[in-house]
Amino acid sequence: MPRPHEALRARLGAAEPLNSALLTIPDPGVAEVLSTSGFDVVIIDGEHGAFTLESMRDCLAAVTLGSAYVVVRVGGHGEVPITSALELGIDGVMVPCVDTAAEAARIVRFARYPPEGTRGVGISRATGYGTDLSARVERANAATAVMVMIESRAVVENADAIAAVGGVDALVVGPVDLAIEMGLSIGTSSDVVDSSYQRVIDAARHSGISAGVGGDPGVWRGRGASFFMTFIDVVSLASAARTEAVGLRSVIDL
């Protein structure tokens, strides 16, 4: 399947509906399955997944056999994790636990080449290993997406300011951390959870960028969200395995 021609950043800016799968298992085969299954985006989980840069590179090569965009959820706000991921030649970064507009602005600078940022030019996969270097660097700022995660109730109050930072392409609610921070069970639905989601969505829409959620797309698409995180490889594998094991036990115990 061909790779998409339009940059992910442009599609986020247009708030097009996109569905994504989270890759936590550092295996190229799993990466290829996700990329060829119809998801718009595969997110390589460099925050919680057991990835090295080498295994990220191998999974990235597998993802590009399909038609999905590739985003890396990096392990922190620092320049090194952001630029190291970008040197792999990905479509964007997702940065967790962004608390303020100042943090978001620093992240954007790390992800952009001068004059928009401070990213250094490397001879890497991102620059075609030096082939057509100037053109690739010039295109990168316009094409590379920066997605920031809102993961606490207090930070929800800063959503408007974070969304207004130039170069931020999406606000993404971190549903698990947000629920835990609120003292709720994971997956709990409540008025405070719904209002927090809506506050982030409204902030993103007001700034003309995409809003991402991990909740039910059937609910949140109608309320303004456009980026959806609904599939996690290891969660789906565990669920399928348990269901299969219970079914088999009921047969062999007859």
Handedness of CA 83, 23, 5, 123 (dihedral sign): positive
Q: Annotated catalytic, 48? A: yes
Residues ≥6 apart with Cβ < 8 Å to 251: none
Measure Cα distances from 131 to 125, 138, 140, 225 in Å: 10, 13, 14, 38
Q: Which residues does residue 145 pair with via DSSP β-bridges, in sequence order?
A: 92
3-state secondary structure of 44: strand
Given the residues 5, 48, 77, 206, select the one marked as catalytic.
Answer: 48
Q: Other CB atoms closer than 10 Å to residue 40's CB: what's the count?
A: 18
Q: Are strands 92-95 and 227-232 parallel, antiparallel or unpaired?
A: unpaired
Residues annotated as part of the active site: 48
